Amino acid sequence: MYSSFIIYLLPILAVIIGFVISKFLKPDSSSGFKLLLAFSGAYLLSVTVLDLIPEVYSSNQKDIGVFILLGLLLQIILEFLSKGVEHGHIHHHETNRNLPWIILISLSIHSLLEGFPLNEDNHLLNGVVVHKIPVAAILSIFLIQRKLSNMKIALILTVFAMMTPLGSWLKNNISIMSEYSSYINAVVIGIFLHISTTILFEASKNHSFNATKLGVIILGILLAYFI
């Protein structure tokens, strides 16, 4: 298992990497970025199915399936508020220089929840980090296109980066979180299922599923299985 320091550090590094990528790639047109997004969706879906789902059902808690569905529904609501940044949507010609509070709150809730189960599974931590990189890049481009000041962009990305470690910290230090961890993890499963399948569905939009993209998705699945 990774140490607590690494668990807290890696999601923050993922946001930093995503921001750097946003400075060199154009996420809305770069084929390399779209392949990274497809890989992240495949990896996250595989880790969720292979590791997280068996774990929550092994707890023998009642109504786990209900909480998975609640997590899926919650993510649909969050994506309505965030305009789909979590799975690669980017919106052009946004010049409102005010802080996008609704998007920030939506992404923060999503990031906070995904931090809860990270202490229990290294594979899941890897999946969240891989997923967080393209999301951070998309968010960075969105903020830059709105012509926000560097200070506001830094503030938003810092809050976004800290939410996942905060979720992990709360899980470790608040006893009631551990008591209901199976239900919380079930909600996270629903969130991950919706995000990852949406990414893969949009990767094959208009049925233009080329061999490279298919290979990247297969690679994501295999790495999640063997690593």
Using a 10 angstrom Cβ sphere, with 0-12 exposed, 13-18 middle and 19 or more buried, the burial of residue 89 is middle
Using a 10 angstrom Cβ sphere, with 0-12 exposed, 13-18 middle and 19 or more buried, the burial of residue 125 is buried
- In the chain, domain spans: 4-226
Residues 139 and 85: beta-carbon distance below 8 Å:
yes
Mean pLDDT of 113-119: 90
pLDDT at residue number 222: 92
pLDDT in tens, 33-87: 788 888 988 999 999 999 899 999 988 888 999 999 999 999 999 888 876 676 5
Residues 119 and 171: beta-carbon distance below 8 Å:
yes
What value does the mean pLDDT of the chain take?
84
Which range among 40-49, 105-114, 137-146, 191-200 shows the weakest confidence by mean pLDDT? Answer: 137-146
User: Residue 222 and residue 227: Cα distance in Å, rounded?
Assistant: 8
Comparison of pLDDT for 166 and 91, the residue scoring more: 166
